[in-house]
Amino acid sequence: MTATARSAETAAHSDAASADQALASDNTSLADGGGDDPGSDDDPGSDDDPGSDDDPGSDLDSDLDDDEPALRYRRLGGSLDALLSRDSASAVVATPRFLVVGTHWGNVVVLDYLGTEVQRWRAHSAAVSSLSVDQAGEHVASSGDDGRVVVRSVAADASAEATLIAQYSRAVRCVALDPQFSRGSRRFMCGATDGHVVLHDARPGRRWFASAGEDSIVFSSAGPVQALAWTGDLVAWAADEGVQVYDVGRARRVALVARPAAHVQADAFACRLQWADARTLTVAWGDGVQVVRVRDGRDSAVHAEIAVALRTDFVACGVAQLDDALLLLAYGDADTAAGRADVRRGEAPPVELRVVSRAQMEELSSDVLPLAAHGMLQPNDYALAPCADGWVVASPKQLVLVSPRGLHDHVQWLAARHRWHDALCDIDAARAGANQWAASAAEVSDAVRQDVGEHLARLLLDSGDAAGAAAVCARVLPRDASDAARDAWDAWVFAFAEARALDALAHVLPVGSPRLSAAAYEMALAHVLRRDTRALRRLVAAWPAGLFGAQSVALAIEDRLADPGVAPEDVVRLKQTAAELYDRVNLPAKALRFHLEVFAPDLVARIRREHLLDAVRDKAELLLRYDDHMLAEEHAPLALRAGQPAAVLLADSADAIAPRSVVRQLVHAPQHLHVYLHALRTHDAPASVPFGDLQVELYAEYDPHLLLSFLRATSAYSLDRALAVCEERSLVPAMVHILGRMGDGHRALMLIIERLGDVRMAIEFAREQADRALWRDLLMYARDKPEFIVGLLEHAGGMDAAGVRPVEVVRAVPREMDVPGIRRAVVRVLADHRLHVELSTDARRIVLADCDALADRVRHVRRHAVPVRLDAGDAGPGDKLCLVCQRSLGSSGGAVIGFWCGHVFHDACVLLPEVWHKTVMPAGRAAGVQGKVDRSLVIARFACACPVCEQVEGGGEDKGRVLGWSPGERTDRGLDGEAEHVPPIQQLLI
């Protein structure tokens, strides 16, 4: 694999100041656009500020790469600069919260990620060779060339003693804390130059000194132990034999990975071990890179396999996993890796960070890192350690934080190339979780997104794509109630207005939050008014009341309507919009004008419902045109037109809308005037009286067939003027009527006879006038005209009413004149006379029969019994005796009934027992109205006819016996002892 550096800088950069400048700035500003090339001394964002006035569509500078880098870099400064100016870093380890640096002077320094020193202690008398931190990040272990291993709590004061100190006889090259050290395990492993790998266990119950036997040697090598890495129960170390994997829980080695660079001495290039996860170990040793997978086998056995193995053309100073790729810290070339290169002091090349695809083993990117004093450094002086958001590239004089480029860096890179559309799409896709930048979507704030969108909108607007620019504004501009949001929208309103494209932005203007100034909305509507009337109507309907000055916009629409160049379909839409706007500001007079002109549905009903008569007082012609449009019938009859809603409204509202005012409005529209006056006469005849002469002219002009009915229905017109109008138009029937009213019946009759020749009409006219002289004139005129003679005979009924008999017509006919049809006419006269006689006879017979029936009905009604109330003075002895028992009606105290014939009886004497018992009411009820009504109904239903009248009218003993009482009934009534007092008629009944 060939190492290719992406940076434009050469490998000859050895000056520390230049390196500091290249890594000094963190790419936190969108306008900066830099941070892509850690080896560049130039500021890549200085000439490509997205806020500059340069043409965004201009060609990109040639020094901008087309390939986007994969990583970003930040030099760690702060307290670290002062530390490394006096000392050198010999070991580095990182946790999510802090960095730990070991120095050549034996110091252990804890730093935050800004480079600020948090804590420091002197752990060794010689250089720190290795550092390790437990999983909790509470304890730090350091090893040194002085043979000591020191474990110390990060939270302890600088003056506090170490948690654990172990002293060995040889220099300790590496140390690894048990990940659970802070949870009570109290173990670490270390490797020394003597080749021993020692497990130190300081759990409670054991002494803390090496001589006490807490150490156990788990492995011995012929050469020094170079590296240690511990995760879970697995520990890996590197020695001359290769990389060993040891299971601490089972106390046995589980795997051996051979040393990849066998052609070079094992300690020529330090081995770099790093657990990527609990089962993945990355190994970088010389020019070999391996990824080892540890898997669980049968019976809980553990075994390792090499997942990736490659040989490089450089020395790998560190390895890490980056998604599906490997991140390699590269030094030198193939000769360096093979030990053939003789690098002179001060001329050593800078290291590079290379990203290599694991699938295709292809180099994806390469960045040169000209770190401070790199010309003096060898491969073993560099290290690559994982940290919170990425990795730390460490050299003796400088630390650089490396992390995968996030969305913010990606957007900066696109912004530097004015690829605003790609930037905005990637931001939105990342926020939706739809691209590779989703994990870092939070890096880009709403303000940055807005900035990107506004640059894109400006680019589109300048290129003439106003619709696209408006869509972008709607997409990125804030929609909250803040002043900043309102200012942003206002600025774009004026920008679109300057570009004469505000109609495109109008459709996306916010109407809730933020609420712009009324002037902004009115300005937008004014632009839309000139461009798209459909859009204007939609906007006015969608925007709430109070958002803009409705009256101002309506006046602008009226000005636009005054332009004769407006298309007819646009005129309709503009009028509809103006009507809606005037409705909003409660100006019904103006609103109804436009509603009427565009024929809005159900408008008359609305006028009635909302009592808007005052608003249409001067719009009579518009109302009648509205009727014509709704009727949609070109030659509709007058009655139909006058019955339309608007005409009826005007006619019914004569009190509110004076008829004289309506007539003045319609004087130039005579047909509408005719319709109105006809409707007015139909619905409010008295109000139409002053316009009789005008109506005569209008009927004569437009509906002459209705003129005669009008002349007959009213007298509110001038006869002379009406006669002149009719004479002018030769309306003979109307002239006849007028002359008849003027008393000139003879002239009228002559008009009928001479100009119409209508016998029937002449006869009808003579009948209406009831003037014998007219009949005489008609006879004199008809005596030599056979058709008139026959006509008079056929309509002889009218002559009878005027005292002229049909025989006089016959006598007036000259004997020598032949009259065709006279026989038929005479026969008809005789038949009519006979029919008249028969009808009279039959009518008399019907009347007599009706009289008899009514008389019978009266007699029948009078036979019904009714209760009779006796006054106090009616019960004297011998007065008003019952015609059955011949006793006084008031003697027994019983009830009395009478008949319309005048006969009165005790009810017990006339009613059958079962009927009489029904009429007996309790005392309390009998006195009430309901009791009296009930008794009357029983008597009327069940009582017999008057016995006296029935006997007299019947004339027979059998009928009297039927209607009277039997001896048994008299016994029941207690009358047997009074037989001598029974009157003769009752004896007959018995």
**Is the confidence at residue 739, as pLDDT, over 60?**
yes
Alpha-carbon distances of 468 from 348, 417, 464, 526, rounded to whole Å: 54, 20, 9, 21
Query: Does residue 641 contact residue 655 with C-beta atoms inside 8 Å?
Result: no
Residue 155 pLDDT class (50, 70, 90 cuts): confident
Least confident of 172-181, 534-543, 934-943: 934-943
Of 952 and 180, the structure prediction assigns the larger pLDDT to: 180
Edge-to-edge strand ranges of the sheet holding 302-311: 271-277, 280-285, 288-296, 302-311
Q: What ranges make up the beta strands (E) of 240-390?
A: 242-247, 252-257, 271-277, 280-285, 288-296, 302-311, 315-322, 325-331, 351-357, 363-369, 383-386
* Alpha carbon distance 553, 308 (integer Å): 74
Q: Which amino acid is at 94?
A: A
Give the pLDDT of residue 924: 59
In Å, how far from its chain's centre is CA 285? 66
CA dihedral over 530, 532, 536, 539, signed as positive or negative: negative
β-pair partners for 140: 133, 152
Residues 211-226: what's their mean pLDDT?
80
Give the pLDDT of residue 1: 39
Q: Which amino acid is at 476?
A: V
Of 60 and 833, the structure prediction assigns the larger pLDDT to: 833
Residues 575-582: what's their mean pLDDT?
93
The DSSP element (H or E) to which 626 belongs, if any, is helix 620-631
Query: Does residue 973 contact residue 909 with C-beta atoms inside 8 Å?
Result: yes
The torsion angles phi and psi of 829, rounded to 5 degrees, stand at: -60, -45
β-pair partners for 277: 280
Residue 47 pLDDT class (50, 70, 90 cuts): very low
In Å, how far from its chain's centre is CA 958? 97
* Alpha carbon distance 569, 299 (integer Å): 88
β-pair partners for 85: none
Give the pLDDT of residue 42: 39
* Two tokens, residue 700: 């004569």
Please write down the long-range contacts of 158-163, taking CB distance under 8 Å and 24 or more positions apart: 158/119, 158/120, 158/121, 162/123, 163/139
Give the pLDDT of residue 307: 87
Which tens digits make up the pLDDT trace of 59-87? 334 444 567 888 889 999 989 999 999 99
The C-alpha R_g of the chain, in whole angstroms, comes to 63
Which tens digits make up the pLDDT trace of 599-639? 999 999 999 999 999 999 999 999 999 999 998 887 889 89
Question: Is residue 293 classed as helix, strand or coil in its secondary structure?
Answer: strand
Identify the burial level of 693 via C-beta atoms within 10 angstroms of its C-beta, where 0-12 means exposed, 13-18 middle and 19 or more buried.
middle
Strands 896-899 and 148-153: what pairing?
A: unpaired
Backbone angle region of 893, left / alpha / beta, with phi > 0 → left and psi within -120 to 50 → alpha: left
Of 649 and 868, the structure prediction assigns the larger pLDDT to: 649
The DSSP element (H or E) to which 148 belongs, if any, is strand 148-153
* Alpha carbon distance 14, 346 (integer Å): 8
Q: Which amino acid is at 954?
A: G
> Does a cis peptide bond (omega within 30 degrees of 0) precede residue 260?
no
Q: What ranges make up the beta strands (E) of 381-445?
A: 383-386, 391-395, 398-404
Rounded to 5°, the CA angle 219-180-285 comes to 45
* Alpha carbon distance 138, 135 (integer Å): 8
Q: Which of 169, 117, 107 is nearest to 142 (CA)?
A: 107
* String of DSSP letters for 770-833: T-HHHHHHHHHHHTT-HHHHHHHHHTHHHHHHTT--HHHHHHTS-TT---TTHHHHHHHHHHHH
* Alpha carbon distance 623, 615 (integer Å): 12
Residues with Cβ within 8 Å of 132's Cβ and at least 6 positions away in sequence, in order, are 93, 140, 141, 142, 175, 176, 177, 188, 228, 230
β-pair partners for 641: none
Which tens digits make up the pLDDT trace of 652-694? 999 999 999 999 999 999 999 999 999 999 999 899 999 999 9
Residue 103 pLDDT class (50, 70, 90 cuts): very high
Residue 50 pLDDT class (50, 70, 90 cuts): very low
Q: Which of 894, 897, 892 is nearest to 911 (CA)?
A: 897
Residue 914 pLDDT class (50, 70, 90 cuts): low
Give the pLDDT of residue 341: 66
Q: Which of 648, 731, 712, 642 is nearest to 678 (CA)?
A: 642
Residues 422-444: what's their mean pLDDT?
91
Query: Does residue 965 contact residue 951 with C-beta atoms inside 8 Å?
Result: no
Residues with Cβ within 8 Å of 325's Cβ and at least 6 positions away in sequence, in order, are 355, 356, 357, 358, 364
Give the pLDDT of residue 230: 95
Of 153 and 928, the structure prediction assigns the larger pLDDT to: 153
Give the count of beta carbons closer than 10 Å to the beta carbon of residue 925: 12
pLDDT more than 90, % of the chain:
44
The torsion angles phi and psi of 845, rounded to 5 degrees, stand at: -65, -40
Please write down the long-range contacts of 341-350, taking CB distance under 8 Å and 24 or more positions apart: 343/378, 345/375, 345/376, 346/14, 346/375, 346/376, 347/14, 347/375, 348/374, 348/375, 348/376, 348/377, 348/378, 349/11, 349/374, 350/11, 350/13, 350/39, 350/374
Residues with Cβ within 8 Å of 496's Cβ and at least 6 positions away in sequence, in order, are 461, 466, 469, 470, 502, 504, 505
Give the count of beta carbons closer than 10 Å to the beta carbon of residue 640: 12
Residues 211-223: what's their mean pLDDT?
77
Least confident of 39-43, 489-493, 646-650, 928-932: 39-43
DSSP class of residue 25?
-
The torsion angles phi and psi of 276, rounded to 5 degrees, stand at: -75, -35
Give the pLDDT of residue 863: 66
The DSSP element (H or E) to which 102 belongs, if any, is strand 99-103
**Is the confidence at residue 423, as pLDDT, over 50?**
yes
Residues with Cβ within 8 Å of 339's Cβ and at least 6 positions away in sequence, in order, are 263, 264, 265, 268
Residues 198-202: what's their mean pLDDT?
90
Query: Does residue 319 contact residue 384 with C-beta atoms inside 8 Å?
Result: yes
Give the pLDDT of residue 808: 66
* Two tokens, residue 314: 């450089």
* Two tokens, residue 813: 């006919």
Identify the burial level of 603 via C-beta atoms within 10 angstroms of its C-beta, where 0-12 means exposed, 13-18 middle and 19 or more buried.
buried
**Is the confidence at residue 895, as pLDDT, over 90?**
no
Which tens digits make up the pLDDT trace of 300-347? 677 888 888 888 889 999 999 888 889 999 998 877 777 766 667 778
- What b/e string do you get for 25-61 counting C-beta neighbours within 10 Å, with b at 16 or more? bebebbbbbbbbbbbbeeebbeebbbeeeeebeeeee
**Is the confidence at residue 108, as pLDDT, over 90?**
yes
Question: Is residue 295 classed as helix, strand or coil in its secondary structure?
Answer: strand
pTM over 0.95: no
Task: For the chain, count helices (H), then strands (E).
Answer: 40, 31
* Alpha carbon distance 627, 633 (integer Å): 10
Which tens digits make up the pLDDT trace of 358-408? 887 888 888 999 998 888 898 999 999 999 888 999 999 999 999 888 899
* Alpha carbon distance 861, 854 (integer Å): 11
Residues 49-61: what's their mean pLDDT?
39
Q: Which amino acid is at 250?
A: R
